[in-house]
Amino acid sequence: LLQRCIQLLILPLHLAAYVGLWDPFYKKVFPYIMAKIAPIYNSKVYRQKQILFSNLRQFAGPSGQLMLLEIGTGTGTNFQFYPPGCRLTCTDPNPNFRKFLLKSLSENQHLKLERSVVASGEDLHQIPDGSMDVVVCTLVLCSVTSIRRVLAEVLRVLRLGGAFYFLEHVAADHSSWTYFWQKVCDPAWQYFGDGCSLSRETQKELEKTNFSELHLKHIHVTPYWIPTSPHIIGYAVK
């Protein structure tokens, strides 16, 4: 009932999306919103990201250089955690992030940008098979059309022995009040989160993907009462 009430309240957004007005407008606005929100979020998970990315170097190729692909780079808030000399390929389906991406690169000159590609995670055909040592994806799988297709692309572009790093908010336990509010808020959240879903079962998709190793743990990001608090964090090896 609450979900239906919210759907009724956001009926103008439904209509704007139906006639093709909402998406072009929000694609331009969303990068500015993320430029404000991302640093706040980063401060909450700073220690967790430090620990997560601390072993990136061990996946460097035979040459000693680390070839890293980030899916859904956005404003580039992960750049500060990548090791010096890292050769970086960035992808994002929204070209309006480019201005913020370049600003982050100017602030992280220890990295070398190989290329920046406008592409969704489901279709990375510009990236050759087995060309990456590491793929990173944070707060992206919640908004993709198909997690399964993204993970298939991750496996394709990773070399054997390469690793996929992730940090994603996910569905809460189905018996919890958090999950109840996730389902209630989902219809509106997807409009204001650029397609983001609050109740993705991302862990199940990772477990079904053909990784040789999966290192995953559950965390909660403060404040604990918000529907995006439950997270999974870790890495998987091809």
Block residue for tokens 């995006």: 228
Q: Is the peptide bond between 95 and the residue preceding it cis, with omega within 30 degrees of 0?
A: no
Exposure on the CB side of residue 168, measured as CA atoms within 13 A: 30
SS3 92: strand
Report how far residue 217's alpha carbon sits from residue 4's, in angstroms, rounded to the nearest whole number: 34
Q: CA torsion, points 235, 124, 142, 22, in degrees to nearest 10?
A: 160
Identify the pLDDT of residue 6: 81
Report how far residue 46's alpha carbon sits from residue 199's, in angstroms, rounded to the nearest whole number: 24
Cα–Cα separations (whole angstroms), residue 49 to 71, 135, 138, 188, 219: 16, 15, 10, 29, 12
Amino acid residing at 67: M
Report how far residue 153's alpha carbon sits from residue 174's, in angstroms, rounded to the nearest whole number: 29
- 1-237 in CATH: which number? 3.40.50.150
Record the tokens describing residue 108, joined without a space: 């992280």
**108: Cβ–Cβ under 8 A, 6 or more apart, which residues?**
76, 79, 80, 82
Identify the pLDDT of residue 200: 95
Q: Rounded to two decimals, what is the model's pTM?
A: 0.94
Check: CB of residue 122 under 8 Å from CB of residue 201.
no
Question: Which stretches of the chain are DSSP H helices?
Answer: 2-9, 11-18, 22-44, 46-52, 98-107, 147-157, 177-192, 202-208
Domains in the chain: boundaries: 1-237
- Could you give the angle at the alpha carbon of 125 between the alpha carbons of 127 and 86, nearest 5°? 20
Tens digit of each residue's pLDDT, the chain (238 residues)? 888 888 888 888 888 888 888 899 899 999 999 999 999 999 999 999 999 999 999 999 888 899 999 999 999 999 999 999 899 999 999 999 999 999 999 999 999 999 999 999 999 999 999 999 999 999 999 999 999 999 999 999 999 999 999 999 999 999 999 999 999 999 889 988 889 999 999 999 999 999 999 999 999 999 999 999 999 999 999 9
